[in-house]
């Protein structure tokens, strides 16, 4: 791998539907110049682990895994059955991530994505989530992987939106195998100073994703990549830097993530340029 940090791309960059075959797109990560690919272990769409591992080996790619929770498998839910379903999903996903050789399981692991409870007091939701994640973390720790919590912007979660808030949540979880996942798209909305926020995360930073502030490829837009890299260096972060966007407004993955215009000009060309840009400016 080149540079100090491996460079990856989220597989859904090329995909139309969440249910599409992720394995069928793995080759594109190699063709566009990445060290590895981020794949998703979704609640409703099981990933064929053995076939994916074989395809990764064939293309000499490493992998990092993410997941998400649904309304029926939500570790913050007041319903014990829903909470238990979320815990068991995260444990199964942790086992799959370890089997694939991923160092972590990231994503929205602490509540359902876009699951905004009607309650004004969110403390019980956070406390239930933290207790559930402490249980999952013991499984992840036994498998030798980290469980990462992706910090989203205010329009996608109300559990926490900044590094400062997420660090307070980690205190509730109280397990060293649970870390933070930062994404420059979300940070651009919520953080006053991206470099300072990364330094605040410090050794609790477990995974890093990047895109421009408007969720285009990182070579576009106006983010201060030098300050972001300085933050990563100061935090002594040596993990993955993954390019993530869902660029096509005409398909499910783009519409679900609010892409109402095309965010890339030529998907493969933009991905190839993004890989080179990340290596120069972040890795």
Mean pLDDT of the chain: 97
pLDDT digits (tens, 9 = 90+) for 128-152: 999 999 999 999 999 999 999 999 9
**Is the distance from CB of 235 to CB of 211 less than 8 angstroms?**
no
244 is catalytic: yes
Coil vs helix vs strand at 144:
coil
Distance CA 62, CA 35 (A): 6
108's CB contacts (< 8 A; 6+ apart) are 67, 68, 69, 150, 152, 157
pLDDT at 167 over 70: yes
Mean pLDDT value of segment 201-211: 98
pLDDT at 2 over 90: no
pTM: 0.97
pLDDT digits (tens, 9 = 90+) for 84-104: 999 999 999 999 999 999 999
Pair of tokens at residue 84 = 């238990």
Rg, the chain, Cα only: 17
Catalytic residue among 95, 181, 191, 244: 244
Mean pLDDT value of segment 260-280: 97
pLDDT at 1 over 90: no
pLDDT digits (tens, 9 = 90+) for 35-87: 999 999 998 888 999 999 999 999 999 999 999 999 999 999 999 999 999 99
Task: Tell me the backbone φ, ψ of residue 38, rounded to 5 degrees.
Answer: -95, 125
Q: Chain centroid to CA 274: how far?
A: 18
Q: Which of 59, 57, 58 is nearest to 31 (CA)?
A: 59
**Is the distance from CB of 65 to CB of 74 less than 8 angstroms?**
no
Catalytic residue among 10, 55, 150, 191: 150
pLDDT of residue 221: 86
Distance CA 219, CA 210 (A): 10
CATH code assigned to 7-281: 3.20.20.150
Pair of tokens at residue 90 = 């995260």
* Residue 253 CB coordination number (10 Å): 20
* Residue 78 CB coordination number (10 Å): 12
Distance CA 64, CA 1 (A): 15
Distance CA 159, CA 70 (A): 15
Mean pLDDT value of segment 170-180: 98
**Is the distance from CB of 182 to CB of 204 less than 8 angstroms?**
no
Percent of the chain with pLDDT over 90: 96
Beta bridge partners of 181: 150, 207
pLDDT at 3 over 80: no
């Amino acid at each position: 791998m080149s540079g100090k940090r491996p460079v990856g791309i989220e597989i859904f960059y090329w995909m139309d539907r969440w249910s599409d075959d992720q394995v069928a797109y793995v080759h594109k990560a190699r063709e566009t110049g990445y060290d590895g690919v981020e794949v998703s272990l979704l609640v409703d769409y099981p990933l064929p682990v053995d076939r994916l591992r074989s395809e990764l080996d064939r293309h000499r790619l490493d992998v990092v895994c993410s997941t998400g929770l649904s309304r029926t498998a939500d570790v913050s839910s007041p319903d014990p059955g829903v909470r238990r379903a979320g815990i068991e999903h995260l444990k199964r996903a942790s086992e799959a991530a370890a089997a694939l050789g991923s160092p972590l399981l990231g994503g929205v692991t602490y509540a359902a994505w876009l699951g905004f409870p009607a309650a004004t007091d969110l403390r019980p939701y956070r406390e239930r989530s933290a207790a559930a994640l402490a249980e999952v973390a013991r499984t992840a720790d036994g498998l030798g992987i980290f469980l990462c919590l992706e910090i989203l912007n205010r329009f996608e979660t109300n559990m926490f939106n900044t590094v400062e808030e997420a660090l307070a949540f980690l205190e509730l979880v109280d397990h060293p195998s649970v870390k933070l996942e930062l994404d420059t798209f979300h940070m651009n909305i919520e953080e006053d100073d991206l470099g300072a926020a990364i330094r605040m995360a410090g050794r609790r930073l477990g995974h890093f994703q990047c895109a421009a502030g408007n969720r285009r490829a990182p070579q576009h837009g106006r983010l201060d990549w030098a300050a972001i890299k300085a933050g990563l260096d100061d935090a002594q972060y040596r993990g993955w830097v993954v390019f993530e966007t869902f660029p096509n407004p005409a398909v499910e993955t783009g519409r679900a993530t609010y892409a109402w215009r095309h965010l890339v000009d030529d998907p493969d060309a933009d991905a190839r340029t993004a890989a080179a840009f990340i290596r120069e400016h972040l890795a």
